[in-house]
Amino acid sequence: MTYLPLSVWDLVLASSLILINGGLSVYYQLGMERHLFISVTRMVVQLTAVGFVLKFIFAQTSPFWTLALALFMVAVAGREVLARQSYKFRGWQAYALSSSALLVVGILTTLFAVVTIIHSKNWYTPQYFLPILGMILGNSLTGIAIGLESLLTSAKRDHAAIEARLALGHSRFEALAHIRTQALKTGMMPIINSMSASGLVSLPGMMTGQILSGVDPVEATKYQILIMFLIAGATAMVTLLSVIGAIYMITDDRHRLVLSALEKRKN
């Protein structure tokens, strides 16, 4: 099996498919043309830039550069979580919550994979560490984002019922148990659905990329199964940490609901 390189003109030809999105937006007056253009431009610029950055870091094989890029990825992921919320916390605490959960779970899960399962000679080998961390962060931030969205939206909507339970002597976790359960289920559902569809409905991105680059399909499948397990475990842990942390942030030490800590995001 051989690797077939792509030229710039190959990518230009592929980009013509984006015209379908633009045409639908114009024809049905969806008003998405500007957002589509910005998203496509960002995607191309960001992926091109990260390609050169990874090429440099791969050549260095240095723990400093590997950790530097890892911390940058976590910082951006934490920001993306906040950008997806209808309601956001006032101040910096929400960013600290999402970023710290992603940092701890993402790094520990990646180290577990690289050191214990893959048996890389160096834990900081960027060829393994950074791609695995990236896939974990990308899926985990989705779990946090929709988990928090479910929790905070439900807390706003059902505040009267929650306050009634608190007035009856329930603790914050007892009063918020129903929306906590729903938030955790919502946060973990995408990866569960993804695992169910893998292989029969879709070939996941990592597996497809490896096959296209010439890796044996059976070996590509093994790595994809590993990645799905890592993503599922990490998503569960970061969603739990963020939801529990958010419950503390919307209540006080006297187990009262403090929704003044939230504000509606401006579109």
Q: SS3 sequence, 6-67?
A: CCHHHHHHHHCCHHHHHHHHHHCCCCCHHHHHHHHHHHHHHHHHHHHHHHHHHHHCCHHHHH
92-145 tens-digit pLDDT: 777 888 899 999 999 999 999 999 999 988 999 999 999 999 999 999 999 999
pTM of the model: 0.85
Residues 128 and 249 in one domain: yes
Domain termination site, one of 45, 60, 75: 60
Total of domains in the chain: 2
The helix/strand/coil state of 172 is helix
Question: What pLDDT band is residue 267 in, cutting at 50, 70 and 90?
Answer: low
Euclidean distance between CA atoms 238 and 143, whole angstroms: 8
Residues 188 and 229 in one domain: yes
What one-character DSSP code corresponds to residue 255?
-
Q: Which domain holds residue 131?
A: 63-264
Residues 143 and 38 in one domain: no
Q: Which of 99, 131, 104 is nearest to 224 (CA)?
A: 131
Domain termination site, one of 15, 31, 60: 60
